[in-house]
Every structure is written in structure tokens, then in C-alpha cells.
Amino acid sequence: MAKNTCFTCLLKKKNCVYDYICIIYFIINLIMAIAIKSIPVLKDEAAHAFTSAVTENTSKKSSVDFSKQVSVATKILAKAKI
């Protein structure tokens, strides 16, 4: 490596007189490329409990009756002539 050149500048194929700045830049880019955390995965008991809770809640989905709210909304819209 020639004097006043650094690793990142060699990758870009140009000379650099700011060796320390380029080295710090290279280290920061290397650190930021590392993954922070992996995606958590449910296993065994937790997975079975989650799927049962999902099926339970999807069956309750249609149990809410909005007929009163729909009638009020239609009256408001009719009065507003929309």
C-alpha cells in the first residue's frame, strides 16, 4: 500500500490523504452492516397457544352487531342529502 492511501480509497481506486477519516468511515460502515436482531419464532407450546387464540378470536369477529350505528349513519346521510 502506498503512502497516504487507505483501504476504502483503494476500493474506490483513488488516493486519499485523510487516512484516519477513511478508516473510521470503513469501520462505521462495517458495524452498520451487522444485523441487529433476528426475527423471533414461536415454538411448541407458545405456537399452539397462539394459533388457538387466533382461531378463537376469528370466530368472535362477526359477533359484534353494528345495526344501530348503521341506522344512525343512514339517517344522518339522508338528512344531509348525501
Cell triple for 70: 348503521
Domain boundaries, the chain: 44-79
The pLDDT, as a whole number, for residue 82 is: 72
Give 14-40 pLDDT, tens digit per residue.
555 566 677 777 777 776 656 667 778
Count the alpha carbons within 13 Å of 20 in the hemisphere toward its beta carbon. Answer: 0
Distance between CA atoms of residues 26 and 39, nearest Å: 27
The pLDDT, as a whole number, for residue 4 is: 47
Among residues 10, 43, 44, 7, the alpha carbon closest in space to that of 27 is found at 7
